[in-house]
Amino acid sequence: MPVSFDTHGGPVRTRKERSFSGVVVGAGRLIWPVFLVSIRRLVHSKFFYAALFLAALPVCLAVIILPSQMGASIGRLHLVLESFLRTVFLAFVVFFAGNILGFAVMRQEIDDQTLHFPLLQPTPRWALVVGKFAAALLLASLLCVLSLWLTYLVLVIPTQGVFALVKDLTQGGRFFILLKESTALVLGLLAYTTIAMFMGSFLKSIAYALILLAWDTGVPYLPSTAKMWTVMHYLQSLLPERLSQQRRLFELLGEPAPVWLCLVVLVGLSLVFLAGCLFIFHRRECLYGET
């Protein structure tokens, strides 16, 4: 099929291609200012410092247990990091970082009684929600992923040395395992952030998170069929390594879900709650006394 070229020597795009690229660029121009303002507001808020404290917690714990790991093998350190990942990161850091920042990005302007300023701007409400979502997810992801890699470095460098670190990342394949684990953290933040934004669009208090935490952290005690209704089950299933130690009383996962199912459930759940947040925010009236 012959290809047409314009006067500058480039291929001529079809009307469909031009319209699609125009929609993407136009949406980006609407979302970008909201994204920047939301990032700025979050970074200067107490909620960001709470999330920063959560992200620093695993690194501090790694420093505390470091003396007991001197002389340990690299395989032993991998088990320690995996235990941190399953118990500290997924069940605590990711959960609260996503919920705190997601809830805050929706409630800040309502609680500060400044919601009328963005609503009076010539910006669609869907762009306001998507920009806020992108800001909260990016900040939470940066904090949690950076914390995971720093925890790994704190555990390996003092005990094994830099040469063993490079060997473990390259020849041992740990670099790609850490990338997969980082992806699991981001997917968890995706789910928890959208849930928090949905709750923050009509609730004043973040107390709902306690109920959600009790449900998600109760995974080892739930029947296998009930585990499929928790976010934690799919996050644990996404991790590339399995705990080797035997569990005497309760199984953490039961049968792990396939990767494709984890992706479908986590992304689909996030889209549902984000759509719910869009629906509520679109119908919101700027009445501070009733919000």
Question: What is the per-residue pLDDT for 249?
Answer: 36
pLDDT at 175 over 60: yes
Question: What is the per-residue pLDDT for 119?
Answer: 63
pLDDT tens-digit map of 177-224: 999 999 999 999 999 999 999 998 888 888 899 999 888 877 667 777
pLDDT tens-digit map of 247-282: 433 445 567 888 999 999 999 999 999 999 989 887
Question: What is the per-residue pLDDT for 250?
Answer: 40
Question: What is the per-residue pLDDT for 152?
Answer: 95
Q: Report d(CA 154, CA 167) in Å as an integer.
A: 16
Q: Report d(CA 274, CA 279) in Å as an integer.
A: 9
Q: Where are the alpha helices (DSSP H) in 44-124?
A: 46-65, 74-83, 95-111, 116-119
pLDDT tens-digit map of 125-156: 888 889 999 999 999 999 999 999 999 999 99
CB of 239 within 8 A of CB of 86? yes
Question: What is the per-residue pLDDT for 228?
Answer: 83
- Non-local CB neighbours of 94 within 8 Å, separated by 6+ positions: 140, 144, 185, 188, 189, 192, 235
pLDDT tens-digit map of 43-68: 999 999 999 999 999 999 999 999 88
Q: What is the pTM of this model?
A: 0.85
CB-neighbour burial class of residue 49 (10 A; exposed 0-12, middle 13-18, buried 19+): exposed
Tokens of 228: 């499929």
Q: Report d(CA 138, CA 153) in Å as an integer.
A: 22
